[in-house]
Structure 1
Amino acid sequence: MDQDISLLITSDLEKKISDCFLIFDHHGNKTVDVREIGTIIRYLGCVPSEDEINEIISATESEDSSGTITLSKFLPHVTQLLAEHKMEAASPEKLLAAFKVLDVDSKGYLTKEYMSKVMMQDGEPFTQEELDEMLSSAVDAQTGKIPYEYYINSLMVDI
């Protein structure tokens, strides 16, 4: 089926990608279901859009359209994307600038309701699950608001 890819891994980046891919290889045959690609890419620390995930799938899916992706096609494609710094998370400075754009009154916080509306309606909308996860760590339990500088700092600690 797939050639022995272990002989082709030549860098730490390729090893990291391969190791991550193999976590999701449930059949032990160096393939994953296309539905796992977004999870794999995010597990690698990337922040892809749905379009970027679909592009990766299109570029690496098996020719027989069986809904699988082989490590031998995935590895070189994703290695190149990561080497080119594609899909990287935004810097703290960019995150702060984005929050400040949303905070038109310069209050230093956003309301949960306003943030929910923005995240579900503007740009590439969050799923309800993604929104709930974000809000669970962003909203201050005492005030019910999102003090965004504190939130950004907490994100950087997690990284």
Structure 2
Amino acid sequence: MADSTQSAEAIVSDVHKKIKAAFEAFDYESNNTVDVREIGTIIYSLGCFPTQANLHDLIAEVEEDHTGYIHLDKFLPAMTKVLLDHKFPSIPEDLLLQAFEVLDKEKKGYLEPEELTKYMTQEGEVFTQEEMDEMLTALADHEKNLVYYKDLISQLTIDPDM
């Protein structure tokens, strides 16, 4: 029995470390607080893909009295529950690859940032230009200014056994 309890504690500890690391990347003043506009990016970086409605609900749950800021103390337990319950599951790697391949009509193995931006800001649940800029900063090959999607798929998905 002790092993399963220890294992569960280890899983929660790992989840907490991942959440804190993602949160701290956007805690520019090192005061355990982030701007509410960064929460979507933090959640996506953790391999979760909520709808805009789900994201809005989560923000409403954790935002500090409509101040525009979210404190780690409120975000950590809420996001831990999301991850442990697989509430906003990541997209399987093969489906993500298929989606990129559909966009890559010429089968080049990459997308140009302008191409990806067009798709992401005009189709489905659209990204803002700010979200696209952040994503391209993180994902584009800076030397060639291209998005090699096959290399990114493992970054955009998360181990379902987490």
Normalised by the size of structure 1, how large is the TM-score?
0.58
Normalised by the size of structure 2, how large is the TM-score?
0.58
Residues 122, 71 of structure 1: CA spacing in aligned structure 2 closer, same or farther, 3 A cutoff? same
- The count of residues paired between Structure 1 and Structure 2 equals 140
Distance 1:99 1:120 in 2: 15
Question: C-alpha displacement at 1:38, in angstroms?
Answer: 2.4
Equivalent in the alignment of 1:152: 149
Higher RCO, Cα 8 Å, sep 6+: 2
Residues 69, 126 of structure 1: CA spacing in aligned structure 2 closer, same or farther, 3 A cutoff? closer
**Does the residue aligned with 1:93 lie in a helix, a strand or coil?**
helix
- Contact 1:61–1:68 under 8 Å retained in 2: yes
Counterparts of 1:1-159 in structure 2, within 5 Å, are: 11-12=12-13, 13-23=15-25, 24=27, 26=29, 28=31, 30-62=32-64, 64-102=65-103, 107-109=106-108, 117-128=118-129, 131=132, 134=136, 137=140, 151-156=148-153
Moved over 6 A (4+): none
Equivalent in the alignment of 2:4: none
**Does the residue aligned with 1:32 lie in a helix, a strand or coil?**
strand
Question: C-alpha displacement at 1:96, in angstroms?
Answer: 2.8
For residues 34-70 of structure 1, the C-alpha deviation after alignment (integer angstroms, 9 at most, x for no partner) is: 23322332343434454443222111122x3223323
- Contact 1:92–1:152 under 8 Å retained in 2: no
Distance 2:152 2:68 in 1: 34
Q: CA RMSD, aligned part only?
A: 4.0
User: Gaps (5+ residues) in structure 1?
Assistant: 1-9
- Contact 2:93–2:154 under 8 Å retained in 1: no
